Amino acid sequence: MRGEQEAAIAAAVAALARGELVGLPTETVYGLAADARQPAAVRAIFAAKNRPADHPLIVHLGDVAQLAEWAVDIPPAAFTLIERFWPGPLTLVLPRAPAVLDAVTGGQDTVAVRCPDHPLALALLEACATAGIHGLVAPSANRFGRLSPTEAAHVQQAFGPEVALVLDGGPCAVGIESTIVEVKGDDVRVLRPGMLSAAALAGVLGRALAGANAAASRVSGALPAHYAPRTPLRLLDGAACVQRAMSLSAQGQRAAVLGSAATLAALPGGAISQLAPLAASDYARRLYADLRTLDGAGAAEILVEQPPSGGDWQGIYDRLSRAARATV
């Protein structure tokens, strides 16, 4: 297996050097990777995903030593967070270095960077650095606005031969996209929640995070409608899920429901059900795979019992809220 993995990494490096796209496993979701310094390769990502040109990408680094190639005037708070949370599901938005492509930043004066916590991703990034590729852009490997992939098969299903190869790193351990944090001088603010909570960040910094700011950078995955299945999705409390499922049943249609045991037990016959995990970490890890299952069930609507919105659940609630706005 080790020899096969080394051969796959070598093939991926060769494909990236040619400007081709590669499916990359990370701890969050699978990414669609390209050499961040090749303009044509970066354009190919936007074309494959049908991604808006002003929607910035995240540069994935294999080592903090590469950071100086991408960002300048880095505030001390950024290094504090890096020391604690890299590798990991934390993306930092920092002042960009002059050589960073405008296509990568969406034309902004900031760049988003992270170091993924996945052994295969880190092995690829190390091999890329040896070959002279010092950063990969890797947005989620899905068509723009759709469910993110958490297994290698999801990438193949979405892109097929448009991707040179997909490195199979197994199911993603975190399951939703990284927490994105902008560090601007003394201000540190969350621009996209994830499974790394604001409380954890504040605890490491020893101070409260800054609040919302209209002048904050645009970041990946923060449009009002995003992360959506093709089946219309509603985010409702448990009683409303049951009521809506019954209404659909009366019309001769089926609902697909992600909810608690109590809610699922009250559903009408014929409804499709998926039990929601109780722990936030388990819920996030399974979320996109569960929604894919429900999306393929032929239901009229997907009904999701609303999870908590704060604390460790903030990133999950964020993804579901955007999915509901995209499909209803």
> CATH assignment of 2-205?
3.90.870.10
H or E segment and range at residue 314: helix 314-327
Q: The whole model's pTM is what? A: 0.96
The answer, yes or no, to whether the previous bond of 39 is cis (omega within 30 of 0) is no
H or E segment and range at residue 234: strand 233-236
Please state, as a whole number, how many other Cβ atoms lie within 10 Å of the Cβ of residue 227: 28
Phi, psi of 24 (to 5 degrees): -120, 120
The conformation of residue 190, written as its DSSP 8-state character, comes to E
- Residue 216 and residue 183: Cα distance in Å, rounded? 10
Question: N- to C-terminal Cα distance for the chain?
Answer: 45
**Is the C-alpha dihedral spanning 221, 175, 284, 178 positive or negative?**
negative
Pick the CATH number of 233-327 from 3.40.190.10, 3.40.50.150, 3.10.129.10, 3.40.50.11030: 3.40.50.11030
Tally of residues, the chain: 328
Place of tokens 């351990």: 173
**Is the C-alpha dihedral spanning 24, 26, 28, 33 positive or negative?**
negative
| Domain residue ranges of the chain, discontinuous segments joined by + | 2-205, 233-327
Three-state DSSP class for 206?
coil
Retrieve residue 162's tokens. Answer: 């448009």
Torsion of Cα atoms, 182 then 184 then 185 then 186, to 10°: -40
List of residues 6+ apart from 8 with CB closer than 8 A: 165, 167
Sequential pLDDT tens for the chain (328 residues): 578 889 999 999 999 999 999 999 999 999 999 999 999 999 999 999 999 999 999 999 999 999 999 999 999 999 999 999 999 999 999 999 999 999 999 999 999 999 999 999 999 999 999 999 999 999 999 999 999 999 999 999 999 999 999 999 999 999 999 999 999 999 999 999 999 999 999 999 999 999 888 889 999 988 888 899 999 999 999 999 999 999 999 999 999 999 999 999 999 999 999 999 999 999 999 999 999 999 999 999 999 999 999 999 999 999 999 999 986 5
- Residue 119 and residue 136: Cα distance in Å, rounded? 15
CA angle 80, 217, 135 (to 5 degrees): 65
pLDDT given for residue 237 in this prediction: 97
Cβ pair 229, 325 in contact under 8 A: no
Cβ pair 140, 30 in contact under 8 A: yes
H or E segment and range at residue 257: strand 255-259
Three-state DSSP class for 303?
strand
